[in-house]
Amino acid sequence: MNANPQTPCMASAKYIFVTGGVTSSLGKGIIASSLAKLLQARGFSVTIQKFDPYINIDPGTLNPYEHGECYVTDDGAETDLDLGHYERFLNIPTSQANNITTGRIYNNVITRERQGAYLGKTVQVIPHITDEIKRNFMLLGETGKYDLVITEIGGCVGDIESLPFIEAVRQLKWDIGEHNSLVIHLTLVPYLKSAGELKTKPTQHSVKTLLEAGIQPDILVCRTEHPLPLDIRRKMALFCNVHLNSVVESIDAETIYDVPLLMKKEKLDERVLEKLRLSPEREPDIEAWKDFLGRLKNPTEGVTIGLIGKYVELRDAYKSIAESFIHAGAQNECAVSVRWIQSESLVSDHYESVLEELDAILVAPGFGQRGIEGKINAVRYARENRVPFFGVCLGMQCAVIEFARNVLGIVDACSTEMERETENPVIDLMEDQKKITVKGGTMRLGAYPCDVRPGTLTYEVYGRTRVSERHRHRYEFNNAYLVQFEAAGMMAAGVNPDTRLVEIVELRDHPWFIGTQFHPELKSTVMNPHPLFVSFVRAALEYATQKKMLVSKAVR
CB of 17 to ligand GLN, least distance (A): 33
CB of 140 to ligand GLN, least distance (A): 27
Helix axes 372-385 and 394-406, enclosed angle (nearest 10): 70
User: Is residue 76 a contact point for ligand GLN (CB under 6 A)?
Assistant: no
| Nearer to ligand GLN (CB atom), residue 218 or residue 417 | 417
Closest CA to 210 of 153, 289, 136: 153
User: Is residue 69 a contact point for ligand GLN (CB under 6 A)?
Assistant: no
State how far Cα 31 lies from the chain centre: 15
State how far Cα 73 lies from the chain centre: 10
User: Is residue 205 a contact point for ligand GLN (CB under 6 A)?
Assistant: no
By CB under 6 A, which span of 189-197, 377-385, 473-481, 484-492 interacts with ligand GLN?
A: 473-481
Q: Is 334 one of the annotated active-site residues of the chain?
A: no
d(CA 434, CA 420): 12
Q: Using the rule CB under 6 A, which residue among 237, 340, 367, 449 binds ligand GLN?
A: 367
Ranges within 301-330 binding ligand GLN (CB under 6 A): none
Considering 334, 393, 398, 450, which one is annotated as catalytic? 393
User: Is residue 82 a contact point for ligand GLN (CB under 6 A)?
Assistant: no
Answer yes or no: are the C-beta atoms of 12 and 144 closer than 8 Å: yes
Answer yes or no: are the C-beta atoms of 491 and 453 closer than 8 Å: yes
User: Is residue 475 a contact point for ligand GLN (CB under 6 A)?
Assistant: yes
Q: Using the rule CB under 6 A, which residue among 472, 510, 523, 538 binds ligand GLN?
A: 472
Q: Using the rule CB under 6 A, which residue among 103, 453, 474, 479 binds ligand GLN?
A: 474
| Nearer to ligand GLN (CB atom), residue 318 or residue 475 | 475
User: Is residue 473 a contact point for ligand GLN (CB under 6 A)?
Assistant: yes
State how far Cα 212 lies from the chain centre: 33
| Nearer to ligand GLN (CB atom), residue 38 or residue 394 | 394
User: Is residue 393 a contact point for ligand GLN (CB under 6 A)?
Assistant: yes
CB of 531 to ligand GLN, least distance (A): 21
Phi and psi angles of residue 24, each rounded to the nearest 5 degrees, phi first: -85, 180
Site string for ligand GLN, 141-180 (x = CB under 6 A): ----------------------------------------
Measured distance between the N- and C-terminal CA atoms of the chain, rounded to whole angstroms: 78
In this structure, what DSSP letter does residue 406 have? H
Q: Using the rule CB under 6 A, which residue among 147, 218, 417, 469 binds ligand GLN?
A: 417
By CB under 6 A, which span of 171-179, 373-381, 469-477, 529-537 interacts with ligand GLN?
A: 469-477
Helices (H), 177-212: 201-212
d(CA 423, CA 249): 61
- As a residue count, the chain comes to 556
Residue type present at position 446: G
By CB under 6 A, which span of 155-163, 232-240, 264-272, 466-474 interacts with ligand GLN?
A: 466-474
CB of 85 to ligand GLN, least distance (A): 20
Beta-bridged to residue 309, according to DSSP, are 342
Q: Site for ligand GLN (CB under 6 A): how many residues?
A: 10
Considering 128, 327, 510, 519, which one is annotated as catalytic? 519
User: Is residue 394 a contact point for ligand GLN (CB under 6 A)?
Assistant: yes
Helix axes 319-331 and 287-297, enclosed angle (nearest 10): 90
Estimate the share of the chain in helix, then strand, then coil, as percent rounded to the nearest 5: 45, 20, 35
User: Is residue 289 a contact point for ligand GLN (CB under 6 A)?
Assistant: no
By CB under 6 A, which span of 14-22, 263-271, 454-462, 472-480 interacts with ligand GLN?
A: 472-480
Tell me the helices (H) and strands (E) count for the chain, helix number first: 18, 23
Residue 302 CB partners (closer than 8 Å, separation 6+) = 334, 335, 336, 337
Kind and range of the H or E run holding 476: strand 475-477
CB of 367 to ligand GLN, least distance (A): 4
State how far Cα 304 lies from the chain centre: 22
Considering 185, 506, 521, 530, which one is annotated as catalytic? 521
Q: Is 519 one of the annotated active-site residues of the chain?
A: yes
CB of 548 to ligand GLN, least distance (A): 34
Ranges within 346-365 binding ligand GLN (CB under 6 A): 365
d(CA 31, CA 206): 18
CB of 183 to ligand GLN, least distance (A): 37
d(CA 43, CA 279): 11
Residue type present at position 511: P
CB of 312 to ligand GLN, least distance (A): 15
Answer yes or no: are the C-beta atoms of 533 and 514 closer than 8 Å: no
| Nearer to ligand GLN (CB atom), residue 156 or residue 321 | 321
Phi and psi angles of residue 507, each rounded to the nearest 5 degrees, phi first: -90, 130
Could you write out the DSSP letters of every residue in 29-48?
HHHHHHHHHHHHHTT--EEE
d(CA 456, CA 473): 25
CB of 528 to ligand GLN, least distance (A): 22
| Nearer to ligand GLN (CB atom), residue 59 or residue 329 | 59
| Nearer to ligand GLN (CB atom), residue 79 or residue 171 | 79
Q: Mind telling me the catalytic residues?
A: 393, 519, 521
Per CB under 6 A, residues contacting ligand GLN are: 365-367, 393-394, 417, 472-475
